[in-house]
Amino acid sequence: MSTCGRTGERFERAAQVSPIGHRPARARGGERMGVVTTLREAAASIPDGALLTFGGFQLNRAPMALVFELIRQGRRDLRVVSLPNPLPLDLLVAAGSVGEADFGFLGFQYEDGFVVAPSVKRAIEGGALRFCERDVYEIVQALRAGAQGVPFLPAPGGEGSDYARMNRTPVVNDPATGASILIAPAVRPDVALVHAQIADRKGNLRVDDPYAEDLLSRASLRVIASAERLVDRL
């Protein structure tokens, strides 16, 4: 069952909060970075309180060099919207860098099962993290709405259950049928952090195993990418 809230004295008494919406963070500095920059400068351009999202899937191709640099620089009060990609969020939470998290499935998958992200679990149980756990499809639709520049998109599937009440998911009447339908308000992250196998000096990326990088890049106001190899032109 999905739950949105901030833990109090008991985990079951989570106070209701809404999924993370877009509140533009104030950029650090203000000068435009070059297309190619250092890891340190790239992370330094992300302010405290920024809304982030991460490329990759599960333990594959997460932008960990950028995540570690954010931790080294002592970033605080970050807000995160996460598809099933637990490692970046779990380490940032462990470092005390995250104030709010909006996520779907958050487990480390192994051949013999999965383990819930331990730092996120402890932070929620200890009341240290403001969070919203919701259906991954709803997060995808929220990002699609942000990418398309529309205020929301339908996210059907939880009608008739406690899902909308628990998650404060908006419900509207379908203008075609009159039936109730869940919607996902648009989310536009300040920065998408992605990792690619190859990048060129103009900012083009080649990702051999894409998951949602195209969607995250279109939905976000900025994209910062790390790469295994830099070439002159793709």
Interval 122-180: pLDDT, tens:
999 999 999 999 999 999 999 999 999 999 999 998 888 888 888 778 999 888 898 99
Q: Is the pLDDT of residue 232 over 80?
A: yes
Q: Which of 4, 37, 9 is nearest to 139 (CA)?
A: 4
Contact 138, 170 (CB under 8 A): no
| Per-residue pLDDT at 74 exceeds 90 | yes
Mean pLDDT of 181-207: 94
pLDDT (0 to 100) of residue 108: 82
Considering only residues 8 and 220, tell me which one the structure prediction assigns the higher pLDDT.
220
Give mean pLDDT, residues 6-23.
39
Predicted TM-score of the model (pTM): 0.85
Q: Kindly list the distances between the CA atom of residue 234 and the CA atoms of 115, 148, 209, in Å, as whole numbers in the listed order.
A: 38, 27, 17
Please write down the HEC assignment for all residues of 162-221: CHHHHHCCCEEECCCCCCEEEEEECCCCCEEEEEEEEEECCCCEECCCCCCHHHHHHHCC
**How many helical (H) and strand (E) elements, i.e. helices and strands, does the chain have?**
7, 13
Q: Which residues pair with 198 in a beta bridge?
A: 206, 229
> What percentage of the chain carries pLDDT values higher than 90?
63
Domain 39-150+188-231 carries which CATH code?
A: 3.40.1080.10
Is residue 197 predicted with pLDDT exceeding 80? Answer: yes
Domain ranges of the chain: 39-150+188-231
The pLDDT, as a whole number, for residue 2 is 35
Q: Is the pLDDT of residue 15 over 90?
A: no
